[in-house]
Amino acid sequence: MGNQGHGASFPSQTAYPCPVPSANLRKPRNTQETRLALVRRARRINRDLAELYPDAHCELDFEAPLELVVATILSAQCTDRRVNAVTPTLFARYRTAEDYASADREEMEKIIMSTGFFRAKTNNLIKLGQALCDRFGGEVPRTMDELVSLPGVGRKTANVVLGNAFGVPGITVDTHFMRLARRFGWTTATDPVKIEHEIGELIPRKDWTLLSHRLIWHGRRVCHARRPACGACPLARLCPSYGEGPTDEKTAIKLIRSGPFS
């Protein structure tokens, strides 16, 4: 389950993989959208994202469910690139839940220090190993309820693990997903659980995991928090938030980040 390939990596500022909208494209009218129209627009955006990012995947490197749980815990307030720089050493040293349960705290802290909040993360990883050994025979469980009962694991981490380690569809609401879902007008909620449920009603369940990756990839590369590249976004015609960032094509293209981010 190692992660290979990076899909639309935007190799240059001029080599954009999809048609760029005209610089004078008007922002969609602020009219009341019917529920049916919202569902159709959301699913069209999902299809367009699938074409834009055909190889979208989890950008955390892992080979087993336990490794993905650990990597996702480390990714809190940390970039995937930094986590991926740390985990080869960590995974070589700690291979099983028992290894984490019996880990030397100072040794583990030194390995993961660069990911930030390393004391709290070390505490969670040791307790995670202990919980897995005590309650699940050293194996990562495969249900939401069981996963969120583990130290350091919330719904976001559980959905990452379910979708990417076990093939169980799940919506991962991180900061990128939340921002884009609101910009697309799919939800006005700010609570991650409510967002997860509302988007789940718009998009077919089979697409949930890949939708999460596609929104995260688009958020990292194009639809940035401060200056989204609106004038170079292939989704502009479908986005009610068009105009939050520069609409001039030349200006917007310069804002595109090529990736990869892992």
Within 8 A by CB and 6+ apart from 98, the residues are 129, 133, 138
Cis peptide leading into residue 260 (ω within 30°): yes
Catalytic residue, from 61, 80, 121, 156: name it: 156
Residue 144 CA, distance from chain mean position: 18
CA dist., res. 230 & res. 241, Å (int): 9
Catalytic residue, from 48, 99, 127, 174: name it: 174
Give the CA angle between residues 59, 244, 213 to the nearest 5°: 15
Active site residue 194: no
Active site residue 156: yes
For 173, 186, 189, 191, the CA distances from 194, given in Å and listed in that order, are: 10, 12, 7, 5
Residues belonging to the active site: 156, 174
